[in-house]
Structure 1
Amino acid sequence: MKLLTSLAAIVLVASALPAQEIDPNRFGTLTFYFENDLFGSTDENYTNGARISWTSPNLKRFGDDSTAGGLAGLFDDVSWTGNSTYERNVAISIGQSMFTPRDVDSYDLVKDERPYAGWLYMGMGLIWKNDRVKNSLVFNIGVVGPWSFAEETQRLVHEALDQDYPNGWDNQLHNELGITVSYERMWRIRDREDNHGFDWDILPYAGVTLGNVMTHGSLGTELRWGYNLPDDFGTGAITEASTTPTAVESPYLAKSWNRRFGFHFFVRAEGRAVARNIFLDGNTFTDSHSVDKYPFVADLSAGFAINWKNTKLSYAYIYRTKEFRGQEDEQIFGSITLSFNF
């Protein structure tokens, strides 16, 4: 109940922003992601993820972005980023993820369970889209190991909640520079002339990620049904390819964002063929603890979202199949995403 009350308060505060007093052509999107296995009553495996993303207003060229245009503009003349009819955005993000074994009481290395690991990173995403398709090209760079400060973050949170914290962080993966490059393409297969009232849509997608942190291919889809659906491409969990869920057009000009209130339910399924996962395979260039991973992993999630003026809040309950041999149970965790435009 306390969690629901807090989320409701966030929506009310964010929706009170003076949206109509700002030039609609200058709107950007700020998104907060938070994922934790606390929602599944556990403290193991993928135990926490957090990310903040800022996405630019719609651009004619990537180089027009005031924050990363000097770098993003290098892709303006690449033919496969689409023609001039595509809306473009540049997304900047920073995030941290942490992973722990099931046995967090032991100070010694737990050989048959996944390694302790943290991942601290920054990312730049290029988005080009129209009303039927969205393309995302995302570059992430960061560090795995003690320099990710995952141990310190978890310690602070557990101390604040007056909880015992895991004892085995001395056995975490070694410091390693991490880089991933991800491409994802998402489609709308239902053509809606008006988002007013009750409606549904389906958003299939496919993607690939390459890098020493993650290398995998993914295939999935999201089905949404609700009242005054937001004019965007859904909201997934934190992944290498995820970006802020920008509207297809400037949010306050889009029909769905002009309305005061909307809500929808959604289900999402994704399968991944995994060639590399540093959090299971261990360090790339030095010896470290590792486990024998499964080559195929699937996520199934269900959730609920509310959109109110310039704000969208969603919660998803995510089930993930076993990722490595010897893992006792599949994992369940929750994902909260808050986006608002200003």
Structure 2
Amino acid sequence: MRRPRHLSALCLLVVAGVCQAATDSAFTLTVENDKFTGSDNNYTNGVGLSWSSGDIASYEEGSLPRRWAELWDFLPRVANEDFRTYASWTLGQEMYSPDDITLANPPLDDQPYAGVLFVDNTFHVRRNRWGHTWNVRLGVVGPASQADNIQTWVHDLIDTDEPRGWDTQLPNELLLNLDYSAGYVWRTGEVGKSFTWRLIPNGSVSLGNYFTGVSAGLHAEIGWNLSDALGMSTLRHGISTATTIGAGPQDHWSISFFAGGTAFGIAHYLPLDGTLFRDSRSVDSKKLVGLITAGMSIRRGPFVLSLAQTYFSKSFETEREGAEFGSLSLSWYF
């Protein structure tokens, strides 16, 4: 299958953008895997490589980041002089598998095999206590994602069960998803002379054949030399660069602990509900799903290391075991 032109073009933009990067631009590598929590089902693995810009206004007129932001300035607040605008791109892959991967023909009422390969084009806009994020996801689900070959190779490398059911995976289908999210620094305070904390309500709305729905949640963070970046997000929610947006290299050690809960109202979720334009395996996703995430971030100089654990409530009626996974994210400012 030919790789979509949009994916190639955005990858080239990422490379070109790095060459014109401002001081606070960063690379981020994120790995999510359910083996971190001792399970191997549902959302089983995610990998993302991201580049995020500094404040777009810090780039020269005519530079690629400035021109790219100007192409999207029809979005509310993007490239507005009253707001700080940051751009990021993520190349990512996700894998989903049923409870028993040793079966060549998994039960029809279990999580279908699915592989997703995508590029996220994201704009983060900030002013005072408000943060807004616009994301466009382009990608493909199905054998073209190469998730089957990669998972089989990794399981052979680490000498664990071979996933035998990839012949039943969701078929090839192009993906397009639009997402908007917002967060507000609602409360801040101090604990003694060294620690500060903040509470951030957030919400989102998404439309597309990957995910259509809404969410609302609350994020809490406490730390020593707490950074201005707004915590950590997961690949599943489309923003894997949140630990670098609005912050730069730290001259001193910074350590923070964060936790949050989110409720999702779901109309369509591809990994469970299947493809929209072709027949595929599917299970009916529950209309209301919750998750909790907890973790920590460590910052020093140009590096940021974040670790997190995420747990989901039951996402479909016949689910054998609740989905859970761990996340590891490493960022480097340059």
Task: Please give the TM-score of this superposition, normalised by the length of structure 1.
Answer: 0.85
Unaligned runs of 5+ in 1: 1-22
Distance 1:308 1:26, change over 3 A: closer
Among residues 290, 295, 303, which one is paired with 2:282 in the alignment? 290
Among residues 167, 170, 184, which one is paired with 2:167 in the alignment? 170
CA distance in structure 2 between the partners assigned to 1:24 and 1:100 by the alignment: 38
Aligned residue number for residue 96 of structure 1? 93
Among residues 21, 24, 33, which one is paired with 1:27 in the alignment? 24
Among residues 45, 68, 72, which one is paired with 2:69 in the alignment? 72
CA distance in structure 2 between the partners assigned to 1:56 and 1:331 by the alignment: 33
CA distance in structure 2 between the partners assigned to 1:203 and 1:214 by the alignment: 23
Partner SS state of residue 147, structure 1: helix
Partner SS state of residue 235, structure 2: coil
Among residues 197, 202, 205, which one is paired with 2:199 in the alignment? 202
CA distance in structure 1 between the partners assigned to 2:76 and 2:136 by the alignment: 19
Aligned residue number for residue 130 of structure 1? 127
Aligned residue number for residue 226 of structure 2? 229
Task: Please give the TM-score of this superposition, normalised by the length of structure 2.
Answer: 0.87
Post-superposition offset of 1:106: 1.2
The structure in which a higher percent of residues are strand is: 2
Among residues 261, 265, 274, which one is paired with 1:269 in the alignment? 261
Aligned residue number for residue 36 of structure 1? 33
In the alignment, is the contact (CA less than 8 A) between 2:98 and 2:106 conserved in 1?
A: no
CA distance in structure 1 between the partners assigned to 2:145 and 2:272 by the alignment: 17
In the alignment, is the contact (CA less than 8 A) between 2:299 and 2:305 conserved in 1?
A: yes
Partner SS state of residue 280, structure 1: helix
Among residues 329, 334, 337, which one is paired with 2:326 in the alignment? 334
Post-superposition offset of 1:133: 1.3
RMSD over aligned CA atoms reads 2.5
Which sits farther off after the overlay, 54-63 or 297-306? 54-63
Among residues 299, 307, 312, which one is paired with 2:304 in the alignment? 312
In the alignment, is the contact (CA less than 8 A) between 1:63 and 1:73 conserved in 2?
A: no
CA distance in structure 2 between the partners assigned to 1:273 and 1:65 by the alignment: 41
CA offset digits 1:244-273 (Å, max 9, x no partner): 126565614xxxx23x21212111111100
Post-superposition offset of 1:88: 1.0
Amino acid at match of 1:60: A
In the alignment, is the contact (CA less than 8 A) between 1:306 and 1:314 conserved in 2?
A: yes
Aligned residue number for residue 218 of structure 1? 215
Amino acid at match of 2:330: L
Post-superposition offset of 1:153: 1.1
Aligned residue number for residue 6 of structure 1? none
Identical pairs, percent: 32
Aligned residue number for residue 49 of structure 2? 52
Partner SS state of residue 26, structure 1: coil
* Total equivalences in the alignment: 314
Amino acid at match of 1:47: T
Post-superposition offset of 1:110: 2.0
Distance 1:63 1:108, change over 3 A: farther
CA distance in structure 2 between the partners assigned to 1:247 and 1:92 by the alignment: 13
Post-superposition offset of 1:162: 1.6
Aligned residue number for residue 316 of structure 2? 324
> What aligned pairs does 1:98-177 form with structure 2 within 5 A after superposition?
98-177=95-174
Distance 1:160 1:124, change over 3 A: same
CA distance in structure 2 between the partners assigned to 1:247 and 1:127 by the alignment: 11
CA distance in structure 1 between the partners assigned to 2:146 and 2:299 by the alignment: 34
Unaligned runs of 5+ in 2: 1-19
Amino acid at match of 1:56: S
CA distance in structure 2 between the partners assigned to 1:298 and 1:174 by the alignment: 28
CA distance in structure 1 between the partners assigned to 2:52 and 2:286 by the alignment: 34
Which sits farther off after the overlay, 237-246 or 36-45? 237-246
CA offset digits 1:58-117 (Å, max 9, x no partner): 112999684565443222255543741211111111000000001211112421211100
Aligned residue number for residue 17 of structure 1? none
In the alignment, is the contact (CA less than 8 A) between 1:115 and 1:290 conserved in 2?
A: yes
Which sits farther off after the overlay, 122-131 or 28-37? 122-131
Distance 1:249 1:113, change over 3 A: closer
CA offset digits 1:189-227 (Å, max 9, x no partner): 23579xx82111112111111101111101112111121
In the alignment, is the contact (CA less than 8 A) between 2:78 and 2:123 conserved in 1?
A: no
Partner SS state of residue 336, structure 1: strand
